[in-house]
Amino acid sequence: MTDVKSLWRNQKTEETVTLENIHRTAERFQQRTRRGLAIEYGVSVFVIAVFGFYIWALPGSMVKAGSALCIVGVLGILWQMRKRMAVRRVPDLSGPGLVEFHRQELLRQRDAVKSAWLWYILPAIPGMVLMMLGRWYQLHAPGRSLAWDHEVIALCAVIILLGLGIIRLLQVLRVAKLQSKIDELDKLR
Amino acid sequence: MDRTGQDERYRGAAAEYGPALERLARAVEADAAERRDLLQEIHFAVWRSLAGFDGRCSMRTWVYRVAHNAAASHVMRRRRAPKGMSIEELVLADDGASPEEIVSENQALERLMAMIRALKAPDAQVMLLYLEDLDAAAIGEITGMSSGAVATKIHRIKALLAKRFKGGRDD
C-alpha cells in the first residue's frame, strides 16, 4: 500500500440517491417547517387560552391583571426565541466560510443564552408576581386559615424562584460550553 | 431557475461528485442507517443549493462546500459528538497498531476512517479534501480557512499518514 490518496479515492461506492428521493425530501422539509410553525402558534394559542380563562374565571383585579401580563410575557418570550435562537440555514456558498459561519452561529447562540435572563426569565416575572400578590391580598382559599394560605403562597413563590434559578444555572453552564467551542474554533484561525 | 434546470444541474453534479459525497458521508458517520440519511441530506443540500448557483466559482468548489457544510451540521447536531483531536494531537497520539499490522486495503481504510472520525470537524474536513486530491488553495476556498493555515495542516496530515501507514507516500 503506497498511496493513501489512491486508496481513499478508489474505495468502492454503492449508495444511490435518486432525484425522486430528493424531491420527496424537499416535500418533507417543507412539511417540517410548516409543522414547526404550527407548534409555535399552538403553544401561543394554549397560553392565551389558559391565562385568558384565568382572566375570565378568577376573581380579583390583580390576578386578572397578572394573567394578562403572563400572556404578554410568554408571547414576548416566544417572539424573542424566534428572533434570537432560530437555527440559520447553513449557507450554500455565498456566505462566509464554514468555520467562520459556525463561529458566528456559536457567538450568536452564546450571546442569546447569556442575555436570556433579560428576555426569557424577566418577562415571565411581573405577571407571576402580580398573580401572587393578588392571591395574597385579594383571594383567600376557602377552608384554610389566612396564615396557612399565606404559607402556601410563599412556598409556591419559593418553588418558582428555585425553578427560575435552575433555568438560569443551566443557561450559565450552556454559555460556558458554547464559549469553549468558540475558543476551539479560534485556535484554528 | 425552474426545477427542471435545477434537476439537470443536480444530475450532472451527482454524476461527477456522487462518489466523493458518499466517501464524505462514510467518513463522517459510522452508523450505516445514519450514513444513508446523511448522504440523502447532503444530496438534498446540493440539489437545493444549485437553484442559486451563479458560476462565480467552479461547480467542484460549490458542491464540496455545500456537502461539507451539510456534513459539519450533521456532526454538530449529534447528541454525543466526540470532542475530537486536532491533527497535531493525532500526530502525537498512538493508536496502538503498527503500520506492519495493516495487511489489507480494508484494514487500511478502516484505520483511515477511524483517524478522520477522531479529528475535530474542521481538521477532518481538511483531511478529507486533501484525500480527494484538492490543493491548499481549493481547500481554503471551501472551508474558509486561510491557505497558509491549510498548508500547515496538510503538512501535518502528510506526517500523520507517513507515520500511520507503511510507505504512505507523502505527496
Q: Is the CB of A5 inside 8 Å of chain B's CB atoms? A: yes
Tens of pLDDT, residue by residue over B133-153, are 999 999 988 888 888 889 999
Interchain CB distance below 8 Å, B69 and A13 = no
Task: Give chain A positions within 8 Å (CB) of B86.
Answer: 187
Where would I find the H helices in chain A? 4-9, 19-57, 61-85, 98-114, 116, 125-137, 146-187
DSSP labels, B107-165: HHHHHHHHHHHHB-HHHHHHHHHHHTT--HHHHHHHH---HHHHHHHHHHHHHHHHHHS
Q: How many CB atoms lie within 10 A of CB B97?
A: 12
Contact present, A11 and B23 (Cβ < 8 Å): yes
- Residue B169 backbone dihedrals phi, psi, to 5 degrees: -75, 135
For residue B50, the 8-state DSSP code is G
For residue A96, the 8-state DSSP code is S
User: Measured in whole angstroms, how far is the alpha carbon of residue B60 from the centre of its chain?
Assistant: 13
Interchain CB distance below 8 Å, A90 and B70 = yes
Interchain CB distance below 8 Å, A185 and B171 = no
Is the predicted pLDDT of residue B68 greater than 60, yes or no? yes
Query: In angstroms, rounded to a whole number, what is the distance separating the alpha carbons of residues A172 and A150?
Result: 33
C-alpha cell at B23: 466517501
User: Measured in whole angstroms, how far is the alpha carbon of residue B34 from the centre of its chain?
Assistant: 17
Task: Give chain B positions within 8 Å (CB) of A100.
Answer: 144
Q: How far is A121 from chain B (nearest CA, A)?
A: 26
Tens of pLDDT, residue by residue over A82-134, are 787 766 665 554 444 656 777 787 888 899 889 988 988 899 899 999 999 98
Query: In angstroms, rounded to a whole number, what is the distance separating the alpha carbons of residues A71 and A48?
Result: 6
pLDDT band at A188 (very low <50, low <70, confident <90, very high): low
pLDDT value, residue A13:
79
pTM of the model: 0.63
Q: Please report the number of interchain residue pairs, chain A to chain B, with beta-carbon separation below 8 angstroms.
A: 130
Interchain CB distance below 8 Å, A99 and B122 = yes
Interchain CB distance below 8 Å, B11 and A187 = no
Task: Give chain A positions within 8 Å (CB) of B139.
Answer: none
Query: In angstroms, rounded to a whole number, what is the distance separating the alpha carbons of residues A88 and B74?
Result: 14
**Smallest CA–CA distance from B127 into chain A, residue:** A5
pLDDT value, residue A170:
93
Interchain CB distance below 8 Å, B62 and A93 = yes
C-alpha cell at A70: 403572563
C-alpha cell at B125: 474536513
